[in-house]
Amino acid sequence: MSKPLKVAIAGLGNVGIGVVKILEEHKELIADRAGREIAISAVSARSKDQDRGVDLSPYQWVDNAAEMADLDDVDIVVELIGGEDGIAYELSKNSLKNGKALVTANKAMVAHHGALLADMAQDAGVVLRYEAAVAGGIPIIKSIGEGLAANKLSQVYGIMNGTTNYMLTHMESRGLTYDEILAEVQELGYLEADPALDLDGIDAAHKLAILSSVAFGTKTDFESVYIEGIRNIESVDIEYGKELGYRIKLLGITKYEDGNLSQRVHPVMIDRELPIASVMDGFNAIVVDGDYIDRTFYNGRGAGEGPTASAVVADLIDIARGHSGPAFFKPASKLIEAAPVSINRRKGAYYVRLHVEDHAGVIADITAALKHTNVSVETMLQKGTEKDGTVYVVIVTHETTEVAMKDAINRIKEVSSVIETPQSIRIEKL
């Protein structure tokens, strides 16, 4: 058996400690599968004295994580600090410059700087791996980059944020309002340190930008992802969606054709009979469409100490086995700079919810606004009069354009009987 592979771990939060636990508890199993021992040589975190539930005394402690890139007794740096820039990015760049392999779970950093890091890894002749950055326990990076390598892929979509999926699940199953479920996930500690990353779709967008590059061989382009979160989803939308045969999910959807790349994250209404519609709670699910495999479906836990740490260690085992190859499964110099496709080019149906005063002529005013923008109605529901003399009007449109729908919404806002900003949700035929 070859000499041990020496690993430095930067960041000892839940995932970092999970990596330590797996490497210690499965030491012999991992050595057998990897063909060599994988040994921790150094660790680093903000506080040395914090009780993390594991004994870290056998390992060299490094106060400044950035210095791990300079350690002689390290073959691989595992970056689990997080954040697109700062010390995580500095450590990652310096590790690659110094000829050390890099394993990271940092989705924000890879989404923003993946192409540059891939280029640096290629120049240094070392490996960059990031399986843990997307979908936790689902080996989606390897599945796309290796298992589906013979295919020309056209579309990848999925549930990429477990927290928002949990929220939408329990708004439906328990009849909770958005504010009620938000308070619950805050108490449970499910939200990122910056809640906007989850609630506004940014976390899912980071993952989508990475999957686009893996699937289509394009340069990571987070800035071109259209992003919309779930803050405007109300329990009435879930109720009416169910009545119409739909379920609301926050999906990331990426498509590539003829050099054009469409990347978008937003709530959608999808057919309740679709397999992905049945993915509940904190689970993630990814669907990949290709020319020879047609469609493949992946489902599993998308976050947490165990699943994410498992993905990190899987990358370490791959490197120990001698697996190399470019970070995005094609030479960094050949990654395509795709032309971004605006959300305004989307075509499809829409769900629209209006809260209006219940009096004669209001429906005529609304349909006039739709007619002016050439948006036609497939279904219209008017829910019973409320005590305050207002009602909800729910519309499902025929296929139209994003531009036309935005124009229609703006015109509807001007109708005097409409008392709240209209809510619209895209309907996806997947």
CATH number at residue 165: 3.30.360.10
* 410-422 mean pLDDT: 91
Q: What is the pLDDT of residue 303?
A: 79
- Cβ count near 281 (within 10 Å): 13
- Does residue 148 share a domain with residue 118? no
User: pLDDT-based confidence at 408, cuts 50/70/90?
Assistant: very high
User: pLDDT-based confidence at 358, cuts 50/70/90?
Assistant: confident
| Single-letter residue type at 32 | D
Please name which of 1, 11, 26, 13 lies closest in space to residue 313, comparing C-alpha atoms: 26
Q: What is the pLDDT of residue 385?
A: 61
Q: What is the pLDDT of residue 78?
A: 98
Is 226 contained in some domain? Answer: yes
Calpha distance 342→37 (Å, rounded) = 48
Q: Which of 16-20, 149-153, 337-341, 382-386 has the lowest mean pLDDT?
A: 382-386
User: pLDDT-based confidence at 76, cuts 50/70/90?
Assistant: very high
User: pLDDT-based confidence at 387, cuts 50/70/90?
Assistant: low
What are residue 158's DSSP bridge partners? 252, 286
Q: Within the chain, how many helices (H) and strands (E) appear?
A: 13, 18
Last residue of a domain, one of 133, 162, 183: 133
Q: What is the pLDDT of residue 404?
A: 96
User: Mean pLDDT across the chain, nearest whole number?
Assistant: 95
Q: Give yes or no for residue 105 having a pLDDT over 80.
A: yes
Last residue of a domain, one of 268, 301, 334: 301
255-309 confidence digits (pLDDT tens): 999 999 999 999 999 999 999 999 999 999 999 999 999 999 999 998 788 999 9
Is 328 contained in some domain? Answer: no
**Cβ contact 170:181 at 8 Å:** yes
Q: Give yes or no for residue 372 having a pLDDT over 80.
A: yes
* 344-364 mean pLDDT: 92
Q: What is the pLDDT of residue 114?
A: 97
* 55-81 mean pLDDT: 95
Q: What is the pLDDT of residue 113?
A: 98
Count: domains in the chain: 3
- Cβ count near 188 (within 10 Å): 11
Residue 376 lies in domain:
346-427
* 23-51 mean pLDDT: 95
Q: Give yes or no for residue 345 having a pLDDT over 70.
A: yes
What does the block give as tokens for 316? 């370490």
Q: What is the pLDDT of residue 388?
A: 78
- Does residue 96 share a domain with residue 196? no
Q: What is the pLDDT of residue 384?
A: 67
- Does residue 254 share a domain with residue 195? yes
User: pLDDT-based confidence at 1, cuts 50/70/90?
Assistant: low
Q: Which residues contact 93 (CB under 8 A, 6 or more apart)?
A: 117, 120
- Does residue 253 share a domain with residue 150? yes
Pairing of strands 390-397, 377-382: antiparallel
Q: What is the pLDDT of residue 52?
A: 93
Q: What is the pLDDT of residue 34?
A: 95
- Does residue 278 share a domain with residue 193? yes
Q: What is the pLDDT of residue 426?
A: 98
Active site amino acids: 207
Q: What is the pLDDT of residue 361?
A: 83
- Does residue 221 share a domain with residue 125? no
